[in-house]
A and B are shown apart, each in its own frame.
Chain A
């Protein structure tokens, strides 16, 4: 039986900013992407701002209309990285098996450390307390025997506290939670599950696995196992760099792609998802890689660099298509294709402006795409689609982002769940 912790730094950016500046601690505070221009988006908020109804992802003007005395702070990524590194050093004192999930979350496998440091709960509470005393910020930590329940624990626990989901209490505590809380169950999957009458994690855990498989494929089995505490995925060991290195999506199309038009449509669909995921991770890419597999299953990767860091669908899709046209020998129908954003940079770090590129137009595109993200968040992924994707819905009408989220470690091998 493993002992796994999942630590989640509470409202991280806002927490760091309030710690660094004592004068704003008792005020509603938001950290924004770019408050200079009117296009600023809320990256995170503190509890006081949250109580005023301010939401992550909305525009600064919207938030200010709900909360006039809102304090807006520019993101200071160097500080967040500094705090994140220092917190991770604390984690590393308890285990060498740490897997980061973004800048403010980490799983820690303490199975081998319990003899030295005490139970999972003891270690979790010590870590929580040390983060508060040594860094001045707070964390919620979930303790369990698998990664999925540990993450549920940290989501469930109030700020600056720990919670333990054990084999004895998970049916009582975990099963009553909404199924959308389960790791990797997003809006699209929740909808599909709702159609089957599944609303809570308990409903999913007790459902017929065969029926789930029929409706959701292999994925249905994976989340069924999650709901039953049967997640066996390992917490990977501490590596040199745990930050996201690339973000990609690929698809095996429902029919072979035979024309450039087909390719372009699917590349657009994939690029939309990749760009949305880049934005939600606050990253931009400076390279694109495409992966193409033809009907004889011969595959290859081709890539090119992008001069100006981007997370815009159009730029990524056009680049992917350019790579396909220039570097791929399109002589056979294509069975599957993928787009990967590589050489990632922090979205808010300054970059050299291209004098010949229409910078203002590009900023408007960025605002447009961020607005599309908000629309999708509220009304569903398919509530707003690019015109090109309406031409052949069967080919392109997939919610790639929510339906095919990529895992930190693989759950599948050769199409089977491992």
Chain B
């Protein structure tokens, strides 16, 4: 149980919104975010952090990605 900071590629729009596009994992592969289904402020007990929580579908799998203080992370 813990937190993993991600090497994330994100889009920052002119109105200040942020969207995760893809991240590069330890295996060197790039995992694209297919869709973002929900965005809200939330805490991750598993990761021990809080921020903006993006409920995403990545390569068919659903996962939460968190954004806080310019860092992207997920629970592992």
Contact = CB atoms under 8 A, between A and B. Distances in A.
Contacts of A86: 50
Nearest to B45: A136
A133 interface: yes
Contacts of B4: none
B48 A134 contact: no
Interface string A122-139: 000000000011111000
Interface residues of A, number: 11
A23 B2 CA distance: 9
A136 B50 contact: yes
Interface residues of B, number: 11
B11 interface: no
Contacts of A20: 48-49
B45 A134 contact: no
Given A133-B42, A133-B43, A134-B43, A22 B49 contact: no
B20 to A, nearest CB: 19
Contacts of A23: 1
B65 to A, nearest CB: 16
Interface string B22-64: 0000000000000000000111111011100000000000000
A21 interface: yes
A135 B48 contact: no
A207 interface: no
B40 to A, nearest CB: 8
A19 B75 CA distance: 13
Nearest to A17: B48
Contacts of B43: 19, 132-136
B49 to A, nearest CB: 7
A21 B3 CA distance: 10
Contacts of A21: 48
B41 A134 contact: yes
A134 B46 contact: no
Interface string A3-28: 00000000000000001111100000
B1 A22 contact: yes
Contacts of A133: 42-43
Contacts of B50: 86, 134-136
B41 A22 contact: no
B45 A22 contact: yes
Interface of B: 1-2, 41-46, 48-50
6 contacts: A20-B48, A22-B46, A86-B50, A134-B42, A134-B43, A136-B50
6 closest Cβ pairs, A-B complex: A136-B43, A134-B41, A20-B48, A22-B1, A22-B48, A135-B50
Given A19-B48, A22-B46, A86-B50, 12 more contacts: A19-B45, A20-B49, A21-B48, A22-B1, A23-B1, A133-B42, A134-B42, A134-B43, A136-B43, A136-B45, A136-B49, A136-B50
